[in-house]
Structure 1
Amino acid sequence: MFEKAGAYVQASTATVISQDTVSKTAHVYFDWGTEPPYAQLYLEKYCKLNPVFPTILLFGVGETHCFPDCVPREEFCRTRFAKEWLMPQGHIDGLFTIVDKSATSCAVFSVFRRMNDGFVDDEMRRRFELITPHVRRALLIGKVIDLHKVQAAQLADSLDTLAAGMFLVDAMSHIAYANASGQMLLREASVLRATGGRLGAIDPVANQALQETFARSAQGDAAVGRRGIAMSLKARDGARYVANVLPLTSGARRNAGAVYSATAVVFVHRATLDMPSPPEALAREFRLTPAELRVLFAIIEVGNASEVADVLGISEGTVRTHLHHLYGKTNTTRQTELVRLVAGYSTALLR
């Protein structure tokens, strides 16, 4: 299916990958078109040299961007990442969007084009934006379900072990099935309710959005679009929950929906603490520019100014200029102090 998504976007490769901003590691969720040796090289080495990070963390979830939005194209082409990882594969251009973001990690859906495909055009961007909600929905629901557990046990039993509440509903929001966690949420009646057997949210605004999404689910994925992805629900005590709605009227999912006469499956779980990642927090606190942010984190990963210049594709003088600005903005005088500053922001997330 992911191969079909990449082909529809008219791309040569398509990837959903998550990078941890604290441990500096990467994890591939889905990949199509990347040769295995290059995929392994990215995980082992080039995820730490990718100049798109950490600038990408300043963008909002669901926004479509091309790589020059992070780094000027000429500068990007001079980076070690471009010269050693992208260009040998023949990549020339691409699009990306953040599909999930937390205080410690960022999951990105990206597509690349090779030389013979040409640069990104309006049609590619249009198709990319059409398919992005489906990719994001698949990733978020996959994380909630924990597919390894589902594959290791009987389906009904494994659904009852989910911490998230799961409901099968029809277009009129009638509940056809609820797992154990879902039944608990209904009994507590703090964030969800079941009036006359119909699923609804306690918060009126969220409830209206839920009902509209359920009604649209009968018409399939295209009708739902971006609706139903990470919908915010507020409990009576002010606690925050998240709902993800997946239509059951498209593709192979129709079989699952037909068994219960349902048009959508809904997952509801407690929202995680909404904290900015270290790069976001630092950029906001010290008013750092994207270029200064890149140099700051390159210093952490690579070392001295000459090595950073080589990795980022800029002159050593430019690196030292950015360092001078960083010292002034953060009230530091040495690189070791910058390292401690970043470490402090990262450590705070692990407490």
Structure 2
Amino acid sequence: MQDTCTQRPSEDVVLNALYSAVSGELHWADVLRTLSAYFDASSAMLKLSDRRQCAHSFFVSSQLSDPVAKAYTDYWWRYDPWAKAAQKNLNFQQSKVARGSDLLTVRELKQTLFYKDFLLRIPAEHLLLSTISDHGSADSLQSPPASFCFMRAPDCVDFSDADVKKLKQLTPHLHRAFKLHWQWRSSQAQLLVFQRSLNGLDFGVLFFDATGRMLSVNTVAKEIIADPEFSQYFLPLPHVMQIGSQLDHLVHATTRGKGGPLNLSGKTQRLLAFALPVAYPGRVVDKRKIARCAVMLMLVDPRKQPGAAIDFMVRSFKLSKAESRILPLLFDNHTPAEMADMLGLKISTIRSQLSSVYAKTGTTRQQELILLLGAAPPIRQADPVVPNRSVH
């Protein structure tokens, strides 16, 4: 037998490749190639199994032809004697490392059809296995059951005790990087759903981080930003706002927990902007400086009945069913007495519900709430966000 004589990368190179792949899908092929060289393996695969355990799929493989990989995925995984022995010996538990020759002898392996009809096609005879996630672990909710498999050809020496020791030392990093990668994949999927939901709204929505940097913008907001009518407030994406404009002051004031409404006047049109702190400031840092918060900025065209905006405000401010019933009536500028008559309630009940709505939305009177909802009637000037600056 002969030993493979490839140049093995250092552990630092392996770790750099591993953690560089956390936020990238295509980098895992490079990770597997680097790991193959590190363990002097002829071929390797990062193998996933679904939660029903009725099918296996490759996440990525190294030095395996597509037909061979497909043959394992479609058929041979059911008859893998290494996998069966590992399950029997509890070597498929998270963070377990196993050597193929410790699971069953080479003689036993060679007597199987799996060896004769499949492994010789790779070719492979020696295995080094690390289970980084299993079906029963708490982490399986965040990442699928998976294992790294490193193989050597029949004319190579078996993996040594030193190889097993190195893989045991490396396995916590394999587990951590893979878990972080699947968390990244999950967050990307959630962001996609979130963005599609925002694009379905009939008013503009922008999100900013605590420094005022834009994180997300929906389709309607993009159209508003590109409209020359409001060039005094907006810059082309990704810069968003004119520095020093009232809208810029509003967003930055909201990062300090001081959100509110703003009437934006264009050449022939107007918009209603409302900034809401997404997470209110926390503790005082040094008796003066307060931790900042992210911002949600809504842009509503007052010429349109903001049905989605009302629904969005109900959910954002967690208004009760009773409180949400009076919002359309507020939009139509009805008085509390008219609301009581229309809903068949006492005026004291209406006033109590209005007080609750004002408290939850941070407003103090009906006209401010109408401004917040994007009402069509003439709107009184809101209290300026920045001292000594008027609102147009």
Tell me if TM exceeds 0.5.
no
**Normalising by structure 1, what TM-score?**
0.40
Give the structure with the larger strand fraction: 1
Give the structure with the larger helix fraction: 1
- Which structure: larger Rg? 2
**Normalising by structure 2, what TM-score?**
0.37
